[in-house]
Amino acid sequence: MKSENGKEDLAARDPGPLSHSRWLPTANRTLRLYLSEESPTPELQEIVVFISKFYMSMWFSIKTSKYFTEGPKLVNQSIQSSRYLPEDLRNLVGPVIKRNGFFAHPEHLMLATTQDNTKLIRELGRQRILKARQIKREQLSEHSCRQNSISRLKTARR
């Protein structure tokens, strides 16, 4: 320690980027700190709101889902959970959801409908997939597919 006051030294340090493996224990320690404080600061309260209303619920949902087809439901849940956050936190979480919204693509949504609990939704999903396949066949000729494949190979070899 450079000085007798250790808190100032710790406050000046840069911990670097926070990885996911370090974030879980940090979130746990933050929640324990919040419980031990008699009068927590507004900043600590804001972090606890984020952890309890958004992060932990999403973490458990992701860990307990075991199928690829549950991805769109998890994206939807993250969007719904973010609505309960304060606006400044919502503005931070929104771009992350968009950037990681791979499962919100139409292909994944249609795939998820085939595994829905409701028979009607499963049947609608199957019909839409078959209709999309038919539209693709009508729009693309075999010739254009070959040209496209060849041009991809040419650009890949350069």
Q: Which of 14-28, 57-71, 96-110, 115-129 has the lowest mean pLDDT?
A: 14-28
Residue predicted with more confidence, 142 or 105: 105
Q: Give one DSSP letter per residue of the chain, joined into a string.
A: --SS-HHHHHHH----PPPHHHHHHHHHHHHHHHHH-SS--HHHHHHHHHIIIIIHHHHHHHHH---GGGHHHHHHHHHHHHTTS-HHHHHHHHHHHHHT-GGGSHHHHHHHHTT-SSHHHHHHHHHHHHHHHHHHHHH--HHHHHHHHHHHHHHHH-
pLDDT confidence of residue 138: 67
pLDDT in tens, 14-54: 666 766 677 888 899 999 999 999 999 999 999 999 999 89
